[in-house]
Amino acid sequence: MISSLFGKTRPVNYILVLSVVFIFFSLAQLHQSDVFTPLSRFLWIIASLCCLLLSLFLVNFMVQRNQLTASDSYAMFFYAQFCILFQDSFEDPFVLIAAFFLLLAQRRLISMKSMKNLKEKIFDGALYVFVASLFVNWTLLFIVIVWIYIYFYIPKKINFWLIPFAAAVTVALMSWSVFFLSGDPQYLFEHFTFDFKPFKFAEVPTFSAVKTASFLILISISGIVAFIKQGKSGQGRLTQLRLLVIAWIAGIVITFLTGERFISAIAFAFFTSAVFAARYVESIRKDFIKDIVMYSFTAVSILVFFLEWVVK
């Protein structure tokens, strides 16, 4: 039943997914802090909620517009499930806002396959990455993905390789002006002070470590299945899949570099993970097995959400 419900893109899918995410986001906020919060925190919560809900629309738009999956809503479904599974992302407004801007960047970069308006798409993609880095500094590494897209599609045009630098100057000047006027001109220098402490998996709580390791293993398997199923497709689709894998690896690397944000920052890999999971479900021929997989994942996500309250 659930596989047939999300097997097509319909308004009811948006209503259902947005409602469920809103409920679990609200529960996470109530569990995280008192009902009465400072105004500044309230504004951050509203901003992050808006970015989260818009991200769900954006995920479905991207996969449909660029044919990353079949004509279904599986990617949006799994993106929502990943958010519930890693409720730490609900509790970190900076991560949710940065993840939204990275989604916008990927939307522009993925559309480069049409080979139209490439300069604008490269500039926009780089611009969104730099804006995301204002919220979580390590997302600045995602700018490498912009150059990788240039390498795949237009490697011989040297001027295209310089476009991200123009985007960097634009964001730097505008953001510095804002912080200067707000009385904090040193913010950018302090924010982009990177700490290269080696990551120690042993320092992560056991429950979170098991959850994260299981997630990485399952998504890796889904990615492998996607490659196998895509093996006989055209070069264009294989290029898209390779770029998605690179973006997924970049998201995981950034996650490991964020230190105390390790669990919440895994949200930077949710989009590509959702695409791989959707492709895996699409590869299952029997509907009742699809239902079992999707119901099971939903049950596990909700169970883990509430279990985390107990183990914390």
Q: Report how far residue 8's alpha carbon sits from residue 234's, in angstroms, rounded to the nearest whole number.
A: 24
Considering the chain, what is the average pLDDT of its residues? 87
Q: What is the mean pLDDT of residues 227-231?
A: 70
pLDDT of residue 183: 79
Q: What is the mean pLDDT of residues 276-294?
A: 88
More confident residue, 283 or 83: 83
When divided into structural domains, the chain yields a total of 1
* List of residues 6+ apart from 45 with CB closer than 8 A: 29, 37, 93
Q: Report how far residue 46's alpha carbon sits from residue 36's, in angstroms, rounded to the nearest whole number.
A: 14
Q: Residue 133 falls within a domain, yes or no? A: no
Q: Which residue segment(s) compose the domain that 214 sits in? A: 2-122+200-311
Q: Residue 191 falls within a domain, yes or no? A: no
- With contact defined as beta carbons under 8 Å apart, do 212 and 82 qualify? no
pLDDT tens-digit profile of 76-96?
A: 999 999 999 999 899 889 999
For CA atoms 222, 228, 229, 235, the dihedral sign is: positive
- With contact defined as beta carbons under 8 Å apart, do 257 and 199 qualify? yes
pLDDT band at 6 (very low <50, low <70, confident <90, very high): confident
Q: Residue 147 falls within a domain, yes or no? A: no
pLDDT of residue 241: 87
**Residue 231 above 80 pLDDT?**
no
- With contact defined as beta carbons under 8 Å apart, do 191 and 134 qualify? yes
Q: Write the Ramachandran bin of 67: left for phi over 0, alpha for psi from -120 to 50, otherwise beta.
A: left
Q: What is the mean pLDDT of residues 33-40?
A: 59
**Residue 33 above 70 pLDDT?**
no
> Length of the chain in residues, anyone?
312
Q: Residue 182 falls within a domain, yes or no? A: no
Q: Report how far residue 251's alpha carbon sits from residue 248's, in angstroms, rounded to the nearest whole number.
A: 5
Q: Give which of 97, 69, 85 is closest to 263, Cα–Cα.
A: 85
Question: pLDDT over 70 for what percent of the chain?
Answer: 93
Indicate the pTM of the whole model: 0.93
CA distances from 284 to 266, 299, 302 (A): 27, 19, 23
**Residue 35 above 50 pLDDT?**
no
pLDDT of residue 199: 61
Q: Residue 157 falls within a domain, yes or no? A: no
Residue 151, burial from CB neighbour count under 10 angstroms (0-12, 13-18, 19+): exposed
Question: pLDDT over 90 for what percent of the chain?
Answer: 50
Q: Residue 74 falls within a domain, yes or no? A: yes
N- to C-terminal Cα separation, the chain: 35
Q: What is the mean pLDDT of residues 62-88?
A: 91
pLDDT tens-digit profile of 154-210?
A: 988 889 999 999 999 999 999 988 888 887 778 888 878 877 665 666 667 778 888
pLDDT of residue 234: 57
pLDDT of residue 36: 46
- With contact defined as beta carbons under 8 Å apart, do 129 and 83 qualify? no
3-state secondary structure of 13: helix
3-state secondary structure of 7: coil
3-state secondary structure of 64: helix
Q: Report how far residue 76's alpha carbon sits from residue 15's, in angstroms, rounded to the nearest whole number.
A: 12
Q: Residue 167 falls within a domain, yes or no? A: no
pLDDT tens-digit profile of 103-138?
A: 999 999 999 988 899 999 999 999 999 999 999 989
Q: Residue 186 falls within a domain, yes or no? A: no
